[in-house]
């Protein structure tokens, strides 16, 4: 049966191990222990210290031993509990002989210091100084600095993870794993900074316990067991020294392990291989060291044997390393053609890819896009992409977010396929109060505008948000403004975001849901590029392609007879007419539209002939734009949508002519109006003096 399968009171043994260990350690401080058990526990303490040291040496990076701060606490607590238990036995039974506190303490008191308690005290103090002043203090300082730099670098690391996620380089699972690792690294160094205090306190406690054992033992021996002062000092001092050494040696080992862990840089090799490769990897250094030792060994009065022996050993190791390196580099010699190294050839892989859509921010705007610091701009952008996909049926590519030190601290820039399409600055400490048309009074501040709707706004201090909201203004925070700026860009340039790969993904989705429908359109009758162009023209006129089934059914019916893009677009628009009209008029039964006067329609058709709008005179174009703008204003003042209704033959032409100057004006054809809708012309567009 596996260890995981063993259950105690309904819980796995692994989950009970640490709580039981802590309870046993606390019990050792209260309950008396026999000397045999004390020997076993002291031996276990030494073994644990060696295990911790070996794990530290083999860890490739600090997080491989992330539980070390807790291990440090438990081992310190174990040593203190053993000190308490040994103190109890020393004071109670120290008069009986040197083995009163067990064989381990006796051996450390007799063998290591030769039974001389004076030497033992000196050795103990040296160990405490090494542990407390050198190793622990240095490891604590390293942990403190590492914790500070790790915390400072967290925003940049989190931003890099979010940028890779938005760019599609990593998955959500990998991003979550990397964020967790960054957080664990910060927690680890912070915990190590505090855990170093355990070792410092342990050293101080060891000195206090040493004094208590010595003074208390002498008093107990003299006054309770009627021993002479010299005899009591000899017995209890030796036991005290043995107890101190058996506790401080494992403490020194644990402190060394702590120093190794916090000073260890992440690597793909363990410490032993790195040490041998970096310290003994260059034979030249060994030859120099061997030469210096050989010279020192020849000076009269120096220990010749020791110096010359080590010099010979280093020289031998250097020769062996030289032969190993030559054997690894033995290859067939090549003819030298040119002494100047040839430059590497440039390949296509050397050209960095261009991001479809990217947001670059100055360093003061990083918190707005950094989720670790509560930045919500990325979440707002994701919500905008989701809304746009549900509205238009087009999935906007992931927005790559990165910092740009070339920008001003509060500036941002949005690029489309590497080209700057929008940029600006967010005033520090200010928000934008937008006037949606129903506000009370005015606000003082710098004039601004909502990047998505174009509504006028005022930049105000963040403390005036409540005042602005009470007056009816809609307050946009900096993160919201960044997200709305990005949304405005991908809505304005949506046709450019529909590439061949996006069209292919749309077709793949439709094939899974409607087998056979796509094959009737492409590649049987239309190439993929034609389908892409049709979809781009629909999106350019704010027509949703979400109903892809109806769209491709219309293409499948029309494509066998014509491949003219304009005819196919009009066919699809007619099939999607109910959706188009519903988006423009929001479900009303009576459509109040701008009508095109019959005389104006005739004039346009006569001028164009078979060549289309290319033959229209500049005077006609100017008059058309001026009249369209006048009717659009009149239509909006009447409270109706800005929609121009015309014949199918003129719809596409008028849409192209008017779209640049009047993007708010939608142009629809009679064929797109559902039969159950009533049309009422509220404004008439007429040019050339006709009426």
Mind listing the pLDDT tens digit for each residue in 172-223? 777 788 777 777 777 776 777 676 677 677 777 777 877 777 787 778 777 7
Residue 409 has pLDDT above 80, yes or no: yes
pLDDT of amino acid 292 = 75
pLDDT of amino acid 593 = 92
Q: What is the mean pLDDT of residues 358-379?
A: 84
Percent of residues, the chain, with pLDDT higher than 90: 11
- Among the listed residues 394, 406, 400, 661, the one whose alpha carbon sits nearest the alpha carbon of residue 545: 394
Which range is most confident: 109-123, 310-324, 326-340?
Answer: 310-324
- Return the sign of the alpha-carbon dihedral for residues 516, 521, 527, 528: negative
pLDDT of amino acid 327 = 66
pLDDT of amino acid 112 = 58
Q: Judge whether 129 and 137 are in contact, CB under 8 Å.
A: no
How far apart (Å, rounded) are the C-alpha atoms in residues 315 and 298? 16
State whether residue 645 is helix, strand or coil.
strand
Tell which wins on pLDDT, 142 or 663: 663
Other C-beta atoms lying within 10 Å of the C-beta of residue 689: 7
- Let me know if 121 is exposed, middle or buried by CB neighbors in 10 A (0-12, 13-18, 19+): middle
pLDDT of amino acid 524 = 81
pLDDT of amino acid 231 = 73
Q: Which pairs from 514-520 meet CB under 8 Å and 24+ separation?
A: 514/549, 514/552, 517/549, 517/552, 517/553, 517/556, 518/552, 520/552, 520/556, 520/559
Residue 331 has pLDDT above 50, yes or no: no
Instruction: Look at strands 590-596 and 456-461 and give their pairing.
Output: unpaired
Tokens of 141: 């300082």
Which residues are paired to 276 by β-bridges?
Answer: none
Residue 5 has pLDDT above 60, yes or no: no
pLDDT of amino acid 346 = 66
Give the range among 144-158, 333-347, 448-462, 616-630 with minimum mean pLDDT: 333-347
Spatial CB neighbours of 494, under 8 Å, sequence gap ≥ 6: 388, 392, 394, 396, 539, 540
Residue 329 has pLDDT above 60, yes or no: no
Tell which wins on pLDDT, 548 or 520: 548
pLDDT of amino acid 499 = 86
- The CATH-assigned architecture of domain 357-493 is 3-Layer(aba) Sandwich (3.40)
How far apart (Å, rounded) are the C-alpha atoms in residues 412 and 420? 11
Q: What are phi and psi of 372, to 5 degrees?
A: -65, -25
Q: What is the mean pLDDT of residues 502-528?
A: 83
Q: What are phi and psi of 357, to 5 degrees?
A: -140, 125
Which range is most confident: 84-98, 338-352, 561-575?
Answer: 561-575
pLDDT of amino acid 26 = 75
Strand segments (E) across 288-442: 357-361, 400-403, 411-416, 419-425, 430-434
pLDDT of amino acid 4 = 46
Confidence band, pLDDT 50/70/90 cuts, at residue 261: confident
Which residues are paired to 411 by β-bridges?
Answer: 425
Q: What is the mean pLDDT of the chain?
A: 79
- Among the listed residues 458, 449, 648, the one whose alpha carbon sits nearest the alpha carbon of residue 568: 648
Residue 413 has pLDDT above 90, yes or no: yes
How far apart (Å, rounded) are the C-alpha atoms in residues 123 and 113? 8
How far apart (Å, rounded) are the C-alpha atoms in residues 211 and 221? 15
User: What are the tens digits of pLDDT across the range 60-106?
Assistant: 776 777 777 788 778 888 878 887 877 777 777 766 666 666 677 77
Residue 481 has pLDDT above 70, yes or no: yes
Whole-angstrom CA distances from 11 to 4, 5, 23, 97, 610 are 10, 10, 17, 46, 86
Residue 285 has pLDDT above 60, yes or no: yes
Which range is most confident: 97-101, 384-388, 587-591?
Answer: 384-388
- Among the listed residues 520, 519, 521, 515, the one whose alpha carbon sits nearest the alpha carbon of residue 534: 521
**DSSP per-residue letters across 127-194:** HHHIIIIIIIHHHHHHHHHHHHHHHHHHHHHHHHHHHHHHTTSS-HHHHHHHHHHHHHHHHHHHHHHH
Q: How many residues does the chain have?
A: 691
CATH of span 496-685: 1.10.8.540
Tell which wins on pLDDT, 476 or 518: 476
Q: What are phi and psi of 66, to 5 degrees?
A: -65, -20
How far apart (Å, rounded) are the C-alpha atoms in residues 174 and 250? 40
């Amino acid at each position: 049966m596996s260890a995981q399968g063993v259950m105690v009171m309904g819980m796995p043994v692994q989950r009970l191990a640490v709580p039981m260990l802590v309870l046993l350690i606390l019990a050792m401080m209260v309950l008396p222990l026999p000397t045999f058990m004390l020997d076993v526990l002291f031996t276990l303490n030494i073994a644990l210290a060696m295990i911790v040291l070996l794990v530290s040496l083999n860890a490739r990076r600090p997080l491989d031993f992330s539980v070390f701060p807790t291990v440090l606490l438990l081992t310190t607590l174990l040593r203190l509990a053993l000190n308490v238990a040994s103190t109890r036995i020393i004071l109670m039974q120290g008069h009986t002989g040197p083995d009163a506190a067990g064989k381990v303490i006796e051996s450390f008191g007799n063998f290591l210091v030769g039974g001389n308690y004076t030497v033992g005290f000196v050795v103990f103090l040296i160990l405490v100084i090494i542990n407390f002043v050198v190793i622990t203090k240095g490891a604590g300082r390293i942990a403190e600095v590492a914790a500070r730099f790790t915390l400072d670098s967290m925003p940049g690391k989190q931003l890099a993870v979010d940028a890779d996620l938005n760019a599609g380089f990593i998955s959500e699972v990998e991003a979550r794993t990397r964020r967790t690792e960054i957080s664990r690294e910060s927690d680890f160094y912070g915990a190590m900074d505090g855990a170093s205090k355990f070792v410092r306190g342990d050293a101080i406690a060891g000195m206090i316990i040493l004094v208590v054992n010595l003074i208390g033992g002498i008093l107990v021996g003299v006054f309770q067991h009627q021993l002479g002062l010299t005899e009591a000092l000899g017995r209890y001092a030796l036991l005290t020294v043995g107890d101190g050494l058996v506790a401080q040696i494992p403490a020194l080992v644990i402190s060394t392990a702590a120093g190794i862990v916090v000073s260890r840089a992440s690597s793909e090799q363990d410490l032993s291989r790195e040490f041998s490769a970096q310290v003994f990897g260059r034979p030249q250094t060994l030859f120099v060291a061997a030469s210096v030792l050989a010279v020192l060994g020849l000076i009269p009065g120096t220990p010749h044997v020791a110096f010359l022996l080590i010099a010979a050993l280093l020289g031998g190791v250097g020769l062996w390393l030289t032969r190993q390196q030559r054997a690894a580099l033995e290859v067939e010699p090549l003819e030298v053609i040119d002494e100047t190294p040839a430059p590497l050839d440039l390949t296509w892989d050397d050209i960095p890819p261009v991001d479809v859509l990217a947001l670059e921010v100055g360093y003061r705007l990083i918190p707005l896009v950094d989720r670790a610091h509560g930045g919500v701009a990325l979440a707002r952008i994701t919500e905008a992409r989701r809304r746009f996909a549900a509205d238009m049926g087009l999935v906007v590519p992931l927005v790559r977010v990165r910092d740009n030190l070339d920008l001003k601290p509060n500036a941002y820039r949005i690029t489309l396929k590497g080209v700057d399409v929008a940029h600006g600055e967010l005033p520090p400490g200010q928000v934008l109060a937008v006037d949606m048309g129903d506000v009370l009074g005015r606000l003082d501040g710098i004039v601004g505008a909502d990047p998505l709707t174009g509504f006028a706004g005022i930049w105000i201090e963040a403390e005036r948000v409540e005042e602005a909201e009470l007056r009816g203004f809609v307050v946009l925070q900096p993160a919201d403004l960044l997200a709305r700026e990005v949304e405005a860009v991908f809505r304005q340039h949506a046709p450019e975001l529909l590439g061949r790969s996006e069209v292919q993904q749309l077709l793949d989705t439709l094939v899974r849901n409607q087998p056979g429908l796509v094959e009737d359109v492409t590649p049987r009758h239309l190439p993929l590029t034609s389908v892409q162009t049709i979809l781009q023209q629909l999106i350019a006129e704010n027509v949703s392609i979400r109903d892809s089934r109806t769209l491709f059914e219309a293409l499948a019916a029309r494509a066998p007879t014509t491949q003219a893009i304009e005819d196919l677009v009009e066919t699809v628009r007619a099939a999607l007419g109910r959706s188009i009209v519903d988006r423009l008029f929001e479900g009303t039964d009576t459509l109040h539209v701008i009508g095109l006067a019959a005389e104006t329609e005739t004039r346009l058709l006569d001028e164009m002939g078979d060549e289309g709008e290319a033959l229209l005179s500049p005077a006609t174009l100017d008059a058309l734009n001026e009249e369209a703008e006048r009717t659009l204003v009149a239509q909006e003042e009447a409270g109706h949508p800005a929609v121009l209704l015309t014949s199918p033959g003129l719809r596409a032409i008028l849409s192209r002519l008017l779209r640049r100057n009047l993007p708010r004006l939608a142009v629809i054809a009679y064929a797109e109006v559902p039969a159950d809708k009533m049309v009422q012309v509220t404004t008439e567009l007429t040019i050339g003096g006709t009426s």
